[in-house]
With several copies, the nearest count.
Chain A
């Protein structure tokens, strides 16, 4: 099948061609902006890149104006080595050690294909951590499902848990905590959030930037296939004469074994000093990696798309640009180091190809079959996307919701009623033991897990000699957040903070995963702005900075949004893990004290 890609020359020669920007999720004003930036219509390849990079998921266009508060209200701290904006924040924990941690959502994919959706959620967050130069040391998984007895929960939950276990266990990362919450509001929108924490020496921090004109851009890991590019088919159908392209799957399949090799290979090339800049490939794949690397560096890059190792040779260039194939990384390597880099990839049996080089043109230029199909200023793709001040207003129903306080509920009166109430509470899925979930996760691997399930926070030993360690907890009560998003977010923070402090660790830093409905709904946007403000204020009061996080919008079915669910993760440091405190009462006869009101 011979086809001609839409080149820059074509875009200039045929300026008025209709383009399916709306199908790709771009608004008319956004499309107009792209034309203005380029001074011409975009090629289909450029349109593919802008559409994925300017999506809500990649550009944070609705949340940016609010998230600024995390920076504006950042408490005085000298523990942050790398702040918000990088793949993950890096926190100094002393003795020359640092840790990096982040939580991300994989909600919608997990609803469509629970096992693979959840598995690739773990895979994605782990690559964020290794791209900072850190060795991953533990994972956590805050989960939300619909009613426990709903048939669709029976489809979704076992798959999600098996997927998280299947991927995390196979990577050899202990699972040290998480949440399992049931509520009708998540019936069509389960929340699968995944957290990873990694450790590194201060000198090993790496950033995603392409510096050094003449340095090479190397793509390594799995081959690129047609995963997760439902959208790109629209573009391809434009350029196919007959029939249209093959239908591409919207889901990705993970290969944890490949990811394990990728971890070892990446840490080895980093420690050998062979890498100038590094970036994981997640959402938006090569579009994201090349534009972000170029945008953070000298600003220029030339890529030869024909060099990308493919699993499926029918892929169009637009599809290659958008593919979300898992288990891939991109590195910037000096020509002198290339041979050593390739040797380490060969040792780990990891595919690897030079796909381009760093230039000083200030442009990201991508070629296909010798013709230029992309020629853009990388910043406009990666960083200067649209920003929206979405309208928001306190929902009309908020007052009546708050007015319905529990004082109107019937109280158990007799001993029999109290007994029944207690039994109902104990037997309710939200309060019952979660062992049936956590028993499917390896919590022992690596041999540094000091606390895990059923403790309120996980504790991991970082340094075997000194006993230095970290504690982590993730928390959120979506019902509180619905009643009062500002205080609900503060409560989530306070709970995670207490859980970490109760182990004996000193809380140091915060990450978050903000799960909400549609930002185009002013009610939801109000919840969001309130929650962000509450979290930022709470962090300022407690004196610990937000180091990063993730926003997941559009968790709603029709008009009905999930409860606002700002999941908060707190990380603390403990000088000697042997001094940690567990939940259990240890010795008969000890006094029991209650602190606080």
Chain B
């Protein structure tokens, strides 16, 4: 059985207040050497069968419409084994 992971990140030019807050907190807790933090979302889809081309195309379609909002977000699709 295959697993597909869709990573969704805010576009670089969009302010990420959550990432900023985490960045501040990490610094206060003594973590040095981190220049920036961005927070994103992942969707892990467990498939019944294998990932074929048709399914992948459909996942791409939905990643770019439902799972991310192209006005503010980018997405990447990763395939991992379950």
Identify which of residues 12-42 in chain B touch chain A, using a CB-to-CB cut-off of 8 Å: 13-17, 20-21, 24
Q: Which residues of B contact A311 (CB under 8 A)?
A: 15
A-B contact pairs, 21 of them (CB 8 A): A113-B71, A222-B15, A225-B13, A225-B14, A225-B15, A226-B13, A227-B15, A249-B11, A249-B71, A249-B72, A250-B71, A253-B15, A253-B16, A253-B72, A254-B17, A255-B17, A255-B20, A257-B21, A258-B17, A312-B13, A326-B15
> Smallest CB–CB gap between B76 and chain A, Å?
19
Contact A246 B71 (CB under 8 A): no
Q: How far is the CA of A113 from the CA of B14 in the complex (A)?
A: 13
Chain B residue at minimum C-beta to C-beta distance from A252: B15
Q: Is A346 an interface residue (CB 8 A)?
A: no
Contact A251 B71 (CB under 8 A): yes
> Smallest CB–CB gap between A217 and chain B, Å?
23
> Smallest CB–CB gap between B31 and chain A, Å?
17
> Smallest CB–CB gap between A268 and chain B, Å?
20
Q: Which residues of B contact A249 (CB under 8 A)?
A: 11, 13-14, 71-72
Q: How far is the CA of A409 from the CA of B10 in the complex (A)?
A: 53
Chain A residue at minimum C-beta to C-beta distance from B10: A253
Contact of A248 among B13, B24, B69 (CB under 8 A): B13
Q: Is A287 an interface residue (CB 8 A)?
A: no
Q: Which residues of B contact A250 (CB under 8 A)?
A: 71
Contact B15 A113 (CB under 8 A): no
Contact A113 B21 (CB under 8 A): no
Q: Which residues of A contact B21 (CB under 8 A)?
A: 257
Identify which of residues 235-261 in chain A touch chain B, using a CB-to-CB cut-off of 8 Å: 246, 248-255, 257-258
The digit string for A97-135, where 1 denotes a CB below 8 A from any CB of B, is 000000000000000110010000000000000000000
Chain B residue at minimum C-beta to C-beta distance from A227: B15
Q: Which residues of A contact B69 (CB under 8 A)?
A: 113
Contact B71 A112 (CB under 8 A): yes
Q: Which residues of B contact A325 (CB under 8 A)?
A: 15
Q: Which residues of B contact A116 (CB under 8 A)?
A: 72
> Smallest CB–CB gap between B68 and chain A, Å?
12
Q: Give me the interface of B with A, judged by CB distance under 8 Å.
A: 10-11, 13-17, 20-21, 24, 69, 71-72
Q: Which residues of A contact B16 (CB under 8 A)?
A: 253
Q: Which residues of A contact B72 (CB under 8 A)?
A: 113, 116, 249, 251, 253
Q: Which residues of A contact B10 (CB under 8 A)?
A: 253
> Smallest CB–CB gap between A318 and chain B, Å?
16
How big is the A interface, by class?
20 to 34
Q: How far is the CA of A116 from the CA of B69 in the complex (A)?
A: 11
Q: Which residues of A contact B13 (CB under 8 A)?
A: 225-226, 246, 248-249, 312
Identify which of residues 323-348 in chain A touch chain B, using a CB-to-CB cut-off of 8 Å: 325-326
> Smallest CB–CB gap between A290 and chain B, Å?
22
> Smallest CB–CB gap between A113 and chain B, Å?
5
> Smallest CB–CB gap between A263 and chain B, Å?
16
Contact of B17 among A226, A257, A349 (CB under 8 A): A257
Q: Give me the interface of A with B, judged by CB distance under 8 Å.
A: 112-113, 116, 222, 225-227, 246, 248-255, 257-258, 311-312, 325-326, 349
> Smallest CB–CB gap between A171 and chain B, Å?
13
User: What secondary structure prevails in chain B residues at the interface with A?
Assistant: loop
Q: How far is the CA of A116 from the CA of B15 in the complex (A)?
A: 11
> Smallest CB–CB gap between B11 and chain A, Å?
7
Q: How far is the CA of A116 from the CA of B13 in the complex (A)?
A: 15
What are the 8 A-B residue pairs with the smallest beta carbon separation, nearest first?
A255-B17, A253-B15, A226-B13, A113-B71, A253-B14, A251-B71, A225-B15, A249-B13
Q: Which residues of B contact A257 (CB under 8 A)?
A: 17, 21
Chain B residue at minimum C-beta to C-beta distance from A253: B15
> Smallest CB–CB gap between B1 and chain A, Å?
16
Chain A residue at minimum C-beta to C-beta distance from B24: A349
> Smallest CB–CB gap between B60 and chain A, Å?
20
Q: Which residues of A contact B20 (CB under 8 A)?
A: 255
> Smallest CB–CB gap between A328 and chain B, Å?
12
> Smallest CB–CB gap between B72 and chain A, Å?
6
Q: How far is the CA of A8 from the CA of B21 in the complex (A)?
A: 40
Q: How far is the CA of A99 from the CA of B10 in the complex (A)?
A: 39
Q: Which residues of B contact A258 (CB under 8 A)?
A: 17
Q: How far is the CA of A258 from the CA of B71 in the complex (A)?
A: 23
> Smallest CB–CB gap between B50 and chain A, Å?
23
Q: How far is the CA of A364 from the CA of B63 in the complex (A)?
A: 48
Q: How far is the CA of A429 from the CA of B72 in the complex (A)?
A: 31
Q: How far is the CA of A311 from the CA of B13 in the complex (A)?
A: 9
Q: How far is the CA of A253 from the CA of B72 in the complex (A)?
A: 9
> Smallest CB–CB gap between A40 and chain B, Å?
33
Q: How far is the CA of A226 from the CA of B72 in the complex (A)?
A: 12
Q: Which residues of B contact A227 (CB under 8 A)?
A: 14-15
Contact A255 B15 (CB under 8 A): yes
> Smallest CB–CB gap between A257 and chain B, Å?
6
Residue among B10, B13, B15, B21 with the highest chain A CB neighbour number at 10 A: B15
> Smallest CB–CB gap between A252 and chain B, Å?
8
> Smallest CB–CB gap between B70 and chain A, Å?
10
Q: How far is the CA of A311 from the CA of B12 in the complex (A)?
A: 11
Q: How far is the CA of A225 from the CA of B13 in the complex (A)?
A: 7
Q: Which residues of B contact A255 (CB under 8 A)?
A: 15, 17, 20
Q: What 15 additional pairs, Cβ within 8 angstroms, besides A249-B11, A249-B72, A251-B72?
A: A113-B71, A113-B72, A116-B72, A227-B14, A249-B14, A249-B71, A252-B15, A253-B15, A253-B72, A254-B17, A255-B17, A255-B20, A257-B17, A257-B21, A312-B13
> Smallest CB–CB gap between B23 and chain A, Å?
12
Q: How far is the CA of A113 from the CA of B15 in the complex (A)?
A: 14
Q: How far is the CA of A116 from the CA of B10 in the complex (A)?
A: 13
Q: Which residues of B contact A252 (CB under 8 A)?
A: 15
> Smallest CB–CB gap between B79 and chain A, Å?
26
> Smallest CB–CB gap between B53 and chain A, Å?
28
Q: How far is the CA of A497 from the CA of B69 in the complex (A)?
A: 41
> Smallest CB–CB gap between B46 and chain A, Å?
14
Q: How far is the CA of A113 from the CA of B68 in the complex (A)?
A: 11
Q: Which residues of B contact A112 (CB under 8 A)?
A: 71
> Smallest CB–CB gap between B65 and chain A, Å?
10
Q: Which residues of A contact B71 (CB under 8 A)?
A: 112-113, 249-251
